[in-house]
Structure formats: structure tokens, C-alpha cells
Structure 1
Amino acid sequence: MDFSEAANRISRKFAKGGQTPDVKKIEGKLRRLVDEFGVQPSEAERSVTNELAKEFNLPAPGSGGSAGGGGKGGGTEEKKIADGVPGEWVTIEGKIVALSNPPSPSIAQSGVIADDSGAMRFVVWAKSNAPAMAEGSWYRIESAVVDEFKGVANLKIHSGTTIKEISEDRSLIPSPVPIKDLHPGIDSVRAKFIQEWDASHERMLQSGLLGDETGTIKFVIWKEPGKEKLVPGAVYNLFYAQVDEFNGRLSLNLNTATILQEEGEIEVSGGEVAVTGAIVHIAPGSGIIKRCPVEGCNRALSRQNYCPVHEIQPKFIYDLRIKGWLDDGEKTHNILIQRDVVESLTGISLAQAQEIAENNPLGMDEVFLQMRDTVLGRYITCHGREIDNRLLVNKCDKVVFNSGDHTALLNRAGGAPS
């Protein structure tokens, strides 16, 4: 886009009516919209034209109406939040239901705004010098930009946006969405906390699996002041959670969510699989392990009792697990088996494993070797949920060797021997 030419073109439109707009300011606004906000050049030119028309109390010259199809808000169309489309300039009225820590100094505020149609993330640019908005309050936001980030619509508040607080406290009751119907963006769910996972990052407060009657989904809570962990087995209403997508899989970020525990129950379904095959590999980190005893951590420690977050932990907690591969003859499944199932599968209890680790010359390695010798090559059926290409096993059944099945596998691999 030739910003200078576009600025002169806009200036000439108003010069016909006796106005003398500042061409340099026009050019600066166009550059900001296109370069900083990613607005299409034609839409940027139309927006600046309408802004000047409002400033001079004139109809937008040559527009045949207001940008975005006419309506309120200085040339932008008033819309419900759910109807905002990337590339549009809109005016909305909504409630600030969550504020989050701005990820960059260039951002003054960020969070989630909602109305009775839905919710959307918003960003207030520091350069806009916009008034700070308060969580729980309603606002009318005029001439904001809806754009797109990672396939999700979000609202950008810039220097041309007007923010007015609405004194009326309107009723806003979000409706939960079934897990199977979630899509990237902001949504609300009613779900049961069915499985807690090890935190995989030092900034992670909690991670695990949520489920409802339609399916399951991974969730994460990042460490922030005031954030608390969920209680395994409890049922929650999670309003305005951020639904993210990575490699085709959805997950919930609960840092923006309003979390309310309830007394009800949910019969979780969906996501359960059963895989029968042979254990062909036991990975390092299996057997007896040590975990960090600091409340809320539970990370696996190194052999030197070192936690990546809480450093040396002499008062560690012992645990059992098996990480490995289960081959069903057609596909190899990455499996993770937790303590209670490990005890049942190997016949070695946590107390027995601890006695071996503390008194055998090989220590923890002896537990690993005994468990490996017990299960490696064994045919079993693993029941659980497959999340992020890993089968989280909650039950194992031993399978009696069937020579007919073995022959069939050989035939698939290379044909029957002559």
C-alpha cells in the first residue's frame, strides 16, 4: 500500500467540503492499522475515512453509508460478540469476565469479554491510552477491530476505539457446552476431574483430564496469584475457559475461567479404549521412582533427589510406574501405567519395591530389572484413555498366549515358513 497516496486521496475527499485534515496524521493512522494491527489496506482506508467524518460531524464521503454495513458506533456496526468476524470493525457491549497478565509491554490489558451470545479474548494496546477496564463491569466498546490469532477471533482495542462504562449490571448466565462440541476460542463446560498428571513445566500448577457424558479433554492451570488446584473426582462448572488447539487436539486453559465446584455427579463416557498386545519395551524412568513432596508439585526426582523447581528434596515420596510400548501387531502404543495397576500387573507392591531399593546392592535398578523381566514380552489388554498419543492405563488384564494369533502375526510379517 502506498500510504502517502492513500492519505492524499482521503484528504481530497474532505477538502471538497471545506475541511483541511492533517495528511501526515492520516498517513500515520493508516500505517498503524496496516502494520501494527494487520488490517487490510482497503479496510484501513475506509476506517480512517469514517473516523474523520465523525470528527468533522459529516457523513463518510463516497461511502454510501457506514463501514461494516451501517449502524451505531461511529461507522462500525453494533454486533453480538459471537457474530464478530475477523477483518470487521465492530461496536459491542459486554462484561469483562476475566483479566489476565499482559504478555508484552506493548499490551496494556488483556482478558475475556462476554455477552449473552458468547465470549472473546480482547487485547488493549498500550499506545491506545484507553481507560482501564475492571473485571465484573460492563462496557460499550466502539470501533474495535476483530482479528484472528491461531484461527481464533479476538478483539483489538486501539487508539481509535471509544470505551464507555455501562452502569447497569445485566444478567449473564453462560451455557455449558458438551466437550465433544468444543472448538478453539472461549467456551464453558461442566465436567468431572477424572485424572491428574505430572506437571511437565515449572510454571504449571496442575494438569490432567476432564470428562463429561460426551468425552474427555486435557486441561492446564498455570501458576498465577490466586490460582488453586482442582480436586480429583470433583465436578466443576468452568465458565469462560480458553480452548486451545495443537496438532489437531483440543485442550483447556483454565486461567481465564471462573471455576465453581458443585455437589453433582457426571457419568463420564467416551475416550475409553482397550488395546491387546505384547509389551515390547520398558522405558527408563519405570519401576520405583521418587517424587517431590512439596504440595502441588509431585514431579519425578532425579537419582540425586533433585526437583527442577524445588531443588534437593531429601524427604521424597516413593511411587511406582511403568512407561513403555505395547505392540498390537499393527501399531505400537506408548503406554503409561500408574502405581495401582503396576502392583497388580507385576505382583510387586510399593512396600516391597521400597525394601528392594533400600537394601539391594543395585537399589532402584533392581526393581526396574525385576519388573522388566516380569512384564516384557507378555501379552496383556490395557484399558484407558489415549491422550496426546499416549495410552493412560487404568486397568490391565493378562492374556493367555494363543498360538493361532502368533501364527497370524508371523504370516502378516513375512508369510508362513515353508
Structure 2
Amino acid sequence: MNLSEVTERISRKLEAKGAQPDRQKIESRLRRLVEEFGVNAAEAERTVTGDLAREYKVTNIGGTSTELRPISDIVPGEWVTIEGKIVALTPALSPSIAQSGIVADSSGAMRFVTWTRANAPAMEYGHWYRIESAVVDEYKGAPNLKIHSGTTISRMEKDAPLLPSITPIAELKPGVGSVRAKVVQDWEVSHERMLQTGLLGDETGTIKFVTWNEEGKDKLDLDAVYNIFYATVDEYNGRLSLTLNTAMYIADEGDIEVGRSETEIQGALVHIAPGSGLIKRCPVEGCNRTLSRQNYCPVHEIQPNFRYDLRLKAVLDDGIRARNVLVQRELVEKLAGITLDEAVGIAESNPIGMDEIFYRIRNAVLGRYYTCSGSEFGGRLLASSCTPVAFKPEELAALLNRAGGESA
């Protein structure tokens, strides 16, 4: 569609109503929508026509985009008008972004972003707004509301409470979600910017969660149940995860029988990685990071009052695929036949210290076959159980007989 023709058509509609539009300004708006925001020309025409109709205070020229839409019905590629409450504000990731966060109504919630060049009024947390003529695109697989120069924002004198709808973990999809879940696992954080990461579960399954270090954010308690409202649901390599920085969470006194969606693999432990055996952890509340041999925490520096722990970082190979496996203390004690207290006593009295425990655990498990099950994230199996595979002479005999028959 020729934008000059569209400009002329819009101009004539306005002139027929007694307005004197600026054709250059009309074409500039059209090009911005089409070339910068990727809007199709027909939708751009309707939006610009509606915006100019309001500017010139004329009616009945068509092309307005003021029909109110529930958030749950919005899909990428649309231009919409919504009324919603700002339930979260997030730090802008770029100077080109003035504001970002989550807007919600009684039907659902979605992320929004306001461009700096839009010169739009800043919206405040906890208030309701009418947002007219915003464009919806897709961000990380979910609808995302973009506020641009053609968007009108009006604060509403409304204080209606919102009761988010709880979604079963198995039914979550990219975007924004609310869950009632139990903290199943609290993992060691892998980056100093992380406050907490672990596993949440409900009756339908489990999902990884992460909370980044941010003022006012608290850690969740292991084995506690929470109502978590307006968490960000992201997808990476086909797996969903929850980011809780946008969320409000409230402790629940009830309990949940978590439905397990575990991966089970069988194979030989072919490699025991450094960092296995007896380790030291930072004692600062909420940290739990592994310390260096000099008792140094990357966040809290030297920690002389560290605490000991056992873990196993290994590779389990089934002959087709090798997987990284992480085994925590309770399982390590069973597999290696040594308790944490025994390991500490040996390390403190042995000339090579903690290395002695590494060698003992490695010798106890390396090359042996196990069936391990647990949750798999980021290419690593977080083992909840590991059972030695028993030798079965009859199966070996059958394999040898079959091999002999094939070679005959």
C-alpha cells in the first residue's frame, strides 16, 4: 500500500469534517508505525485516523481503536485499548525504554513497555489506567503491550481489587502467571546477582524459579507453600521458568502433594568433576555459596565460620548420551558410605585434607552403574534418587548367547 495514497485518504476524511490537517505530519506518523514498529499499513491507517479524529475533535470518520478489550483476549499484531492496574514495575533495560512492568485486569495480565520517545506520562504502581491505541507485539513468546507516541494514557479514579486467577504449573505458558506452589528445592545460586533459585511444585508438576537480588525481595522458605501472583513466565530451550521479581508472594498455611515430573536415566558414572566431595559453604543467611579453599565467598569475602557440606558433580553415560548429574549430601552419604561428620573428621586429621574425601568418594562410585531420577534443568539432572544397578548374570548370558548366534 502506498503511504502517500493513505495520507491523502486520511487528509480528505478530515477536511470533509472541516479540519485542516498537516499532510506531512500524517505521512510521518504512518511511516513511523509501519517502518519502526512493523505495523501493517491498514492498521496504521486506522490508528492514525483515530488519533487525528480525537486531536481535531471530529467524529464519524472511521478507523478508531477505542473498543475496550480484556487483556486475556489480546494477541500479537493488534492495536488495542485496555483498562488495567499496574501490578509491577521493572527496571528499564535500555535508555530507549522509559518504563516497563506488568498491567493487569480481572481477566489476566501482560508485560508492557513504554518507549522514551513516546513522551508518555509515567504510570504509578497500584493505580488503574486507560491505555488507548497501544500496539501488541510478541516478546519471549508472549504478548507484550508497547506504548508509543500515538498511545493515550489516562489515569482512572478506580480502586477495584484484583484477584489473580491461579494457574496449575502444568498449564503455564510464556507471559505472566500466578501459581499456588510449594518450595521443593532450594539450590545453590550460581551468580552473585541471584538471590535465590530452586524448584516450585504443585499437584500438576514442578518448575524452576529464580529471584534476582533486588531491594525489598525476600527468599522463600524450603518446604513452605506460597500464593505467588504475577510472576514472569519465560521459556528457554523448550522449558519454562518463573522469575519472581515482578511477583507478590504470600505464605499459605496449607500443604501440597507435589506431582513429580521426573526424568529417569541409567548408566555408568564416567567422570567425577572438581568441586565434588567435602566442600565449604558461606554461613551468611540466604547465601549458601561454595567457598574457595581460602574460605572466600565471592559476595561476603572471607568467612572463617563456614559450614561443611557434601556433594557430587558427575557425568552419567548410558552409552548414547552423557548427562551432568548433581547429587546432594544425603544421597552422597548413601552412595559413598560416608557421613558428613565422618568426612569432616577425616579431612581435619589427614595430611591432604579435603582431597582425601574427594578420592574416597570418587573411588566408591566411579565406573559403577546407577539408575538416577530427578528434575533436569539446563542440561543437568538434579538427582532426587540414585540406585545402584544390580548385576544380573542371566541378562549377561543372554547377551553373550545372542552375540554368539549372530557371529555364527
TM-score by length of 2: 0.91
| Structure 1 counterpart of 2:254 | 264
SS at match of 1:256: coil
Distance 2:334 2:322 in 1: 23
The reply on whether 1:370 has 2:360 as its aligned counterpart is yes
Partner SS, residue 392 of structure 1: strand
Separation in 2, partners of 1:411, 1:310: 61
Instruction: Check 1:323–1:411 CA distance in 2 against 1; reply closer, same or farther (3 A cut).
Output: farther
CA distance in 1, matches of 2:397, 2:186: 40
Aligned to 1:159: 149
Q: Which one-letter code corresponds to 1:390 in the other structure?
A: R
Residue number in structure 2 paired with 1:241? 231
Q: In structure 2, give the amino acid aligned to 1:115.
A: D
Give the residue type in structure 2 aligned to 1:45: E
Q: 1:202 aligns with which of 192, 203, 209?
A: 192
Structure 1 counterpart of 2:139? 149
> How far off is 1:180 after superposition?
0.6
The within-5 A match list for 1:102-121 is 102-121=92-111
- Counterpart secondary structure, 2:214: coil
Partner residue in 2 for 1:72 = none
SS at match of 1:77: coil
In 2, Cα distance between the equivalents of 1:169 and 1:282? 58
In 2, are the aligned partners of 1:410 and 1:416 still within 8 Å (CA)? no
Aligned to 2:126: 136
Structure 1 99/195 Cα, relative in aligned 2: closer, same or farther at 3 Å? Answer: same
| Cα shift readout 1:309-346 (whole Å, capped 9, x = no counterpart) | 33343433221100112234554332111011111211
Deviation per CA, 1:57-87: give whole Å up to 9, x if none. Answer: 33465xxx434xxxxxxx3321101111222
Q: CA deviation at 1:166?
A: 2.2
1:47 equivalent in alignment to 2:47: yes
Rounded Cα–Cα distance in structure 1 between residues aligned with 2:400 and 2:189: 41
The offset of 1:18, in angstroms, is 4.8
Q: Which residue of 2 aligns with 1:33?
A: 33
Matches within 5 A, 1:181-260: 181-260=171-250
Residue-by-residue CA offset, 1:81-132 (whole Å, 9 max, x unaligned): 1111222111111111111122222222211111111111111222223222
* C-alpha separation in 1, matches of 2:311 and 2:52: 67
Residue type of the partner of 1:211?
G
Please say if residues 280 and 308 of structure 2, whose CA atoms lie closer than 8 Å, have aligned partners that are also in contact. yes
- 1:4 CA displacement: 5.9
**Cα deviation, residue 36, structure 1:** 3.9
> Of the candidates 62, 66, 82, which is equivalent to residue 63 of structure 2?
66
Q: How many residues align?
A: 408
What letter is aligned with 1:294? V
Q: Using the alignment, how far apart are the partners of 1:417 and 1:360 within structure 2?
A: 53
Residue 19 (structure 1) aligns with:
19
Distance 1:170 1:17 in 2: 39
Alignment partners' CA distance in 1, 2:22 and 2:269: 75
Question: What residue identity is the alignment partner of 1:52?
Answer: L
Partner deviation per Cα, 1:130-150 (whole Å, 9 max, x = no partner): 222222222221111112112
Query: The residue matched to 1:105 in structure 2 has which SS?
Result: coil
Moved more, 175-184 or 283-292: 283-292
User: How do residues 382-397 of structure 1 correspond to structure 2 at under 5 angstroms?
Assistant: 382-397=372-387
Match among 347, 350, 356 for residue 357 of structure 1: 347
Local SS of the residue matching 2:286? coil
Q: Identify which range, 236-245 or 277-286, moves more after superposition.
A: 277-286
What SS class does the counterpart of residue 169 from structure 1 fall into?
coil
d(CA) in 2 for partners of 1:416, 1:276: 26
Percent identity, please: 63
Name the CA distance, whole Å, in 1 between partners of 2:232 and 2:405. Answer: 51
User: 1:255 Cα shift?
Assistant: 0.9
Tell me, yes or no, if structure 1 residue 96 matches structure 2 residue 86. yes
Distance in 2 between residues matched to 1:33 and 1:124, nearest whole Å:
15
* 1:9 positional shift: 5.2
Q: TM-score by structure 1 length?
A: 0.89
How much is the aligned-residue C-alpha RMSD, in angstroms? 2.6
Change (3 A) 1:358 1:409: farther
2-side partners of 1:413 and 1:176: how far apart?
A: 56
Deviations 1:172-200 (A, max 9, x none): 21121111111001111110000011112
Shift in alpha-carbon separation, 1:411–1:122, aligned structure 2, 3 A: farther
Indicate conservation of the 8 Å contact 1:321/1:336, yes or no: yes
Measure the CA separation in 1 of the matches of 2:376 and 2:405: 32
Runs of 5+ unmatched residues, structure 1: 68-74
In the alignment, structure 1 residue 293 sits paired with structure 2 residue 293: no
Q: Distance in 2 between matches of 1:384 and 1:39?
A: 45
**Higher mean displacement: 310-319 or 89-98:** 310-319
Moved more, 183-192 or 325-334: 325-334
Unaligned runs of 5+ in 2: none
Contact residue 47 and residue 63 of structure 2 kept, 8 A: no
In structure 2, give the amino acid aligned to 1:95.
K
Check conservation: 2:17, 2:58, Cα contact below 8 A: no
Counterpart residue identity of residue 272, structure 2 = I
